[in-house]
Amino acid sequence: MAAHLCIAAALSSAAIAEPSNVSFLGSTMTPAQIQTGEALYAETCASCHGENREGQPDWRRRLETGRMPAPPQDGTGHTFTHSDADLFAMTKFGIEAVVPGYESDMPPFEGVLSDPEIVAILAFLKARWPEEKLRFQAALPSMRSSPDG
């Protein structure tokens, strides 16, 4: 919850551009935030999730290590089946923050990205999802039950 409050404060101070039709944790994202997210994605995420958010090749098959490849973030994966709060937590603290015991090659980005930067990246990804995926995510029980979602 503290993380959510921190994000909300950061978003308020950053909201200088016109709103888009994408929200994150209940706040409408601005085009400037989404643009920032796109640049940060290219710097921080694209090496694994793909320049065009296509994911690693054969991403549904387990690697020799037993871990799963990085999934697509273009709406063809399963990211849209997670709530905003879970996506934020997985990015900041690692997948294990949401799925205890789950081993993943994705590192936690706490200390690498600020909370507003993580929000901007996730807002950029959501802004590129097909409309039906946005509706699917918005209807998740975990989105409806979130006090700020």
Partner 1 sequence: MTIPKTDGLHRRAFLGATAAACIVGTAPPLIAAPSPQVRALVFAGSTVLAAGNGLMRSQNGGATWRAAAGPDQELRALTTHPQRPDRVVAALDAHGLAVSDDAGASWRKAGAGLPAVAIDALATAATTPDTLYAAIAGDGLWRSEDAGETWAFVMDRPFLAEAERDVTALASVDLASGMGGIWLYAGTTFGMQRVPDCFCRWQDVQPGNALDALVPGGDAPETQPLPEGQPVRALVSPAAAPARLYAALPSGIWSTDDAGMVWRKTSDVEVLAIAVDPATPLSLVAATQGALTYSRDGGETWTAGAVI
The contact set with partner 1 (CB under 8 A) reads: 60-62, 66, 68, 78, 80-82, 86, 98-102, 136-137, 139-142
Nearest distance in Å: CB 97, partner 1: 10
Chain centroid, CA 13 distance in Å: 20
Task: State which residue, 19 or 130, has the beta carbon closest to partner 1.
Answer: 130
Give the number of other CB atoms < 10 A from CB of residue 47: 10
Nearest distance in Å: CB 66, partner 1: 7
Task: State which residue, 100 or 147, has the beta carbon closest to partner 1.
Answer: 100
DSSP string, 20-55: -S-EETTEEPPHHHHHHHHHHHHHHTHHHH-TTS--
Nearest distance in Å: CB 103, partner 1: 10
Task: State which residue, 36 or 91, has the beta carbon closest to partner 1.
Answer: 91
Strands (E) in the chain, as ranges, are 23-24, 27-28
Task: State which residue, 30 or 79, has the beta carbon closest to partner 1.
Answer: 79
The strand pairing partners of 113, in sequence order, are: 110
